[in-house]
C-alpha cells in the first residue's frame, strides 16, 4: 500500500490545483468513497430504538452523539463463546443495569440469554447476561493488550467481517500470538496511538483473559471498549452489555494505557511524563523539550526511548539526560538501561561537546535520522561516540562527512548500518564501512555521493543484505557485490545496470530476494538463481506487465516458488 500525498498540502494550494490533486487521487491513486449504505441503514435501525422515549428516568447518559456510537458499537468477536457474563447476583443490580441498557435489536434479545443462545447458530456459544459488574470484574483476569483504533463508521462491520473470515477453529481462544496478530491487522491503519486527550475519539480493541467460573482455566477474548458506549462482544452477532460496564472498562483501559502499565507510554508534554508508571519500559514522546529530559530519569527500566518527534530537544537536552542518568546510576546500581534510542529527527550534533551516549545504557540500536553532524573537531581522535554494545546505526538522511562517519563507527562492531539518502560522504566512506568486519546489513539507498564509487572493499564483508538502489554501480562494483557469498538480499533499483549485469547477478547464487530495474533486458535469465524467493522488477518507463509476459512465464514455470512483483507499471 502506498501512502497518498499528504492531505494537509491541499489547504495551501490554489483552488484548481487543490481540486485536481483530489481528483487525481481518485482517478490515478485509486482512492474511492466507501460504501456506507449498510452503515446508514444500521444506524437508522438503531435510531428507531435508541430510545430517548424509553428512558424517562434519564439514566442512560446518551447524548445524541453517543447514540451514533451505540449504533456502531456493535463490536466483534468473542470467540467460542459470546462473552458475556454472569447473571447472577443481585436482582436490584440487575434492575439498575437493565435500565441503563440500550434497547436490544429487534431480532435479538440481549437481556434474555436463552433467546440469544437460540439465535446463535454456534453450539459453542454461550451467552450470559451481565447483571453484576463486580462479578464480571472477577472474571477478567487481566487486560493483556490494548490497541487504539480511530473511530470509524464502518469499524464494527470491518471487525465483524474480519473475524468471520478467519478459519473456524477455536484454538485462538488460548493463543495470544494469534490474537496479537489479529489486533495488529485490525489496527494496521493506525500509525500511532492517539493523544491521551483524544482517546474519547477512539475505540479500544482489547485482549482480555477471562477466567472460566469455577475452574482454573480461561480463555482469551477480543473486546471493543469505548469510554462512553456499551461494550459489545460477539461471535456471530452482537451482545449488548450495560453502558455502565463499558464505561468503566473503557476508562480503565485508557487509564492503563496512560499509566503505561502495558509497558508502553506515549506522552505529548513533559507534564504527562509524571503520569507514567515508573516501571515503564518504552516511552514515545512528542513535543518534549530539553527541560523535560531530566523527567525521564525516574524510569529506571526504560529500554526504548523514541524522541523522533521532539524537535525542541537539542544535543544539550540529550547531554542533560546522559549526565542525570550517570548520576543516578552512581547512586543506585543498575539504573538506566536504554537499549534503543531514537534521537530527534534533524538533531544537530557537534559543538560544543557531544553527549556521552554510553551513560544512557547498553545501547543496541540508535537512529539519528536527518541529523546534522557538524564541527568534526569536537570528536577526539581516540574517543568513542557510542558504547561498544551498539549493533545497529541508522543515519538516514543525515548530513555528515567521512571523518564523522569514522568517528561514529570508531570502536564498534556493528551489524546493521543504514545510510539512506545521506549527504556529504565521499568515496573514502566505503573504506570506513568496510572496516566494520561484522556488518551483515547495509543500506545505501539514494546515497548519491557514492555514485560511481568502487564498492569493491565491501566484498570482504559478511553481508547478507545490501541495498544500493539509486546509486549508480560500475561494472567493477557490481562484480564485487555479486561475489559476496553470504548475500541473500540485494537491491539494485536505478543503479544503471547495463549489458552483462545479469551475468554478474547469476554469480550471486545465494540470493533469495532481488530488487532490480529498470532493465536490463535479459532479466528472464535470473530464473537460474535457484534460491530466489522474491523478485521485485521495476519496469522501464512505458513498459507494462504485458511486455514482460515471457519473463513472467519463465518464472512461473521454472521458478514457481519465486514471488515476482512488478513496480511502476503504467
- What cell numbers appear for 432 in the block? 570506513
Which of 99, 111, 154, 358 forms a contact with another protein (CB under 8 A)? 154
Contact residues for 537 (Cβ-Cβ < 8 A; gap 6+): 516, 517, 523, 548, 551, 564, 565, 566, 567
| Nearer Cβ to another protein (49/351) | 49
| Nearer Cβ to another protein (7/485) | 7
Q: Which among 530, 526, 469 is positioned nearest to 497, based on CA atoms? A: 469
CA atoms of 223 and 24, how far apart (whole Å): 38
CA atoms of 108 and 392, how far apart (whole Å): 56
Tell me, residue by residue from 122 to 151, as one string, x for binding to another protein by CB under 8 A and - for no binding: ----------------------------xx
Cα–Cα–Cα angle for 43, 49, 52, nearest 5°? 110
CA atoms of 193 and 284, how far apart (whole Å): 10
CA atoms of 137 and 255, how far apart (whole Å): 16
Contact residues for 227 (Cβ-Cβ < 8 A; gap 6+): 199, 200, 247, 250, 251, 254
Select from 4-12, 54-62, 124-132, 386-394 the region that touches another protein (CB under 8 A): 4-12
| Nearer Cβ to another protein (101/446) | 446
- Closest approach of another protein to the CB of residue 39, in Å: 5
- Closest approach of another protein to the CB of residue 568, in Å: 7
CA-to-CA dists, residue 405 to 372, 386, 397, 424, angstroms:
12, 12, 13, 10
Tell me, residue by residue from 468 to 507, as one string, x for binding to another protein by CB under 8 A and - for no binding: --x-----------------------x-------------
The footprint of another protein on residues 10-49 (CB under 8 A) is 10-11, 14-20, 22-31, 33-37, 39-41, 43-44, 47
Q: How many alpha carbons fall within 13 Å on the CB side of residue 388? A: 2
Q: Which among 515, 511, 524 is positioned nearest to 553, based on CA atoms? A: 524
> How many chain residues bind another protein (CB under 8 A)?
52
| Nearer Cβ to another protein (36/485) | 36
- Closest approach of another protein to the CB of residue 564, in Å: 17
Query: Do 439 and 463 touch, CB atoms closer than 8 A?
Result: yes
| Nearer Cβ to another protein (442/495) | 495
- Closest approach of another protein to the CB of residue 517, in Å: 10
φ, ψ for residue 360 (rounded to 5)?
-75, -25
DSSP string, 255-307: HHHHHTTTSEEEESSHHHHTTS-TT--EEEEES-BGGGGGGGTT-TT--EEEE
Which of 60, 62, 66, 68 forms a contact with another protein (CB under 8 A)? 68
- Closest approach of another protein to the CB of residue 366, in Å: 25
Select from 9-17, 248-256, 303-311, 554-562 the region that touches another protein (CB under 8 A): 9-17
Q: In what order do the strands lie in the sheet with 202-211?
A: 140-150, 202-211, 218-225, 232-233, 239-240
| Nearer Cβ to another protein (390/447) | 447
Which of 70, 134, 152, 386 forms a contact with another protein (CB under 8 A)? 152
Q: Does 545 help bind another protein (rule: CB under 8 A)?
A: no
Which of 123, 167, 334, 542 forms a contact with another protein (CB under 8 A)? 542
Tell me, residue by residue from 436 to 465, as one string, x for binding to another protein by CB under 8 A and - for no binding: ----------x-------------------
Q: Does 165 help bind another protein (rule: CB under 8 A)?
A: no
CA atoms of 521 and 537, how far apart (whole Å): 11
Contact residues for 400 (Cβ-Cβ < 8 A; gap 6+): 371, 372, 373, 408, 422, 423, 424, 425
How many helices (H) does the chain have, and how many strands (E)? 16, 20
Select from 8-16, 202-210, 326-334, 375-383 the region that touches another protein (CB under 8 A): 8-16
| Nearer Cβ to another protein (397/414) | 397
The residues of the shown chain that bind another protein, judged by CB under 8 A, are 2-5, 7, 10-11, 14-20, 22-31, 33-37, 39-41, 43-44, 47, 68, 150-154, 189, 198, 201, 446, 470, 494, 541-542, 567-568, 570
Amino acid at each position: 500500500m502506498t501512502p497518498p500525498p499528504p492531505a494537509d498540502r491541499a489547504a495551501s494550494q490554489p483552488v484548481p490545483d487543490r481540486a485536481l490533486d483530489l481528483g487525481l487521487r481518485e482517478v490515478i491513486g485509486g482512492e474511492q468513497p466507501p460504501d456506507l449504505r449498510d452503515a446508514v441503514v444500521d444506524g437508522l435501525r438503531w435510531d428507531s430504538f435508541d430510545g430517548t422515549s424509553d428512558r424517562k428516568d434519564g439514566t442512560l447518559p446518551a447524548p445524541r452523539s453517543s447514540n451514533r456510537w451505540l449504533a456502531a458499537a456493535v463490536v466483534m468477536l468473542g470467540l467460542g463463546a459470546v462473552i458475556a457474563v454472569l447473571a447472577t447476583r443481585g436482582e436490584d443490580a440487575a434492575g439498575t443495569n437493565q435500565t441503563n441498557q440500550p434497547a436490544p435489536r429487534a431480532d435479538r434479545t440481549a437481556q434474555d440469554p436463552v433467546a440469544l443462545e437460540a439465535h446463535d447458530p454456534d453450539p459453542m456459544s454461550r451467552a450470559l447476561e451481565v447483571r453484576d459488574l463486580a462479578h464480571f470484574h472477577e472474571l477478567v483476569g487481566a487486560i493483556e493488550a490494548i490497541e487504539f483504533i480511530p473511530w470509524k463508521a464502518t469499524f464494527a462491520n470491518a471487525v465483524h467481517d474480519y473475524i468471520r473470515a478467519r478459519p473456524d477453529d477455536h484454538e485462538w481462544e488460548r493463543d495470544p500470538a494469534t490474537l496479537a496478530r489479529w489486533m495488529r491487522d485490525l489496527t494496521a491503519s493506525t500509525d500511532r496511538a492517539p493523544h491521551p486527550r483524544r482517546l474519547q475519539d477512539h475505540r479500544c480493541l482489547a485482549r482480555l483473559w477471562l477466567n472460566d467460573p469455577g475452574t482454573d482455566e480461561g480463555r482469551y477474548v477480543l473486546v471493543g471498549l469505548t469510554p462512553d458506549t456499551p461494550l459489545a462482544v460477539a461471535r456471530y452477532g452482537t451482545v449488548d452489555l450495560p453502558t455502565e460496564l463499558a464505561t468503566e472498562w473503557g476508562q480503565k483501559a485508557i487509564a492503563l494505557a496512560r499509566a503505561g502499565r502495558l509497558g508502553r507510554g506515549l506522552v505529548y508534554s513533559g507534564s504527562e511524563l509524571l503520569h507514567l508508571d515508573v516501571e515503564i519500559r518504552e516511552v514515545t514522546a512528542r513535543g518534549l523539550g530539553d527541560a523535560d529530559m531530566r523527567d525521564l530519569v525516574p524510569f529506571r527500566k526504560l529500554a526504548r526511548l523514541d524522541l523522533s518527534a521532539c524537535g525542541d530537544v537539542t544535543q544539550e537536552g540529550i547531554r542533560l539526560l546522559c549526565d542525570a542518568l550517570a548520576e543516578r546510576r552512581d547512586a543506585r546500581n543498575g539504573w538506566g538501561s536504554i537499549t534503543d534510542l531514537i534521537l530527534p529527527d534533524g538533531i544537530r550534533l557537534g559543538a560544543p561537546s557531544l553527549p556521552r551516549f554510553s551513560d544512557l545504557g547498553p545501547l543496541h540500536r540508535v537512529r539519528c535520522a536527518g541529523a546534522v553532524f557538524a564541527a568534526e573537531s569536537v570528536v577526539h581522535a581516540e574517543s568513542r561516540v557510542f558504547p561498544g554494545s551498539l549493533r545497529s546505526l541508522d543515519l538516514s538522511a543525515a548530513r555528515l562527512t567521512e571523518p564523522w562517519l569514522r568517528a561514529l563507527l570508531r570502536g564498534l562492531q556493528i551489524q546493521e548500518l543504514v545510510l539512506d539518502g545521506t549527504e556529504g560522504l565521499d568515496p573514502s566512506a566505503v573504506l570506513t564501512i568496510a572496516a566494520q568486519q561484522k556488518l551483515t546489513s547495509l543500506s545505501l539507498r539514494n546515497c548519491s555521493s557514492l555514485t560511481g564509487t568502487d564498492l569493491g572493499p565491501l566484498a570482504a564483508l559478511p553481508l547478507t543484505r545490501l541495498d544500493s538502489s539509486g546509486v549508480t554501480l560500475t561494472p567493477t562494483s557490481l562484480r564485487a557485490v555479486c561475489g559476496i557469498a553470504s548475500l541473500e538480499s540485494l537491491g539494485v533499483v536505478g543503479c544503471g545496470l547495463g549489458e552483462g549485469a545479469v551475468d554478474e547477478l547469476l554469480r550471486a547464487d545465494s540470493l533469495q530476494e532481488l530488487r532490480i530495474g529498470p532493465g536490463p533486458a535479459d532479466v528472464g535469465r535470473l530464473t537460474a538463481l535457484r534460491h530466489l524467493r522474491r523478485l521485485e522488477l521495476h519496469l522501464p518507463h512505458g513498459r507494462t506487465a504485458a511486455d514482460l509476459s515471457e519473463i513472467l512465464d519463465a518464472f512461473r514455470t521454472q521458478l514457481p516458488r519465486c514471488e515476482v512483483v512488478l513496480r511502476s507499471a503504467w
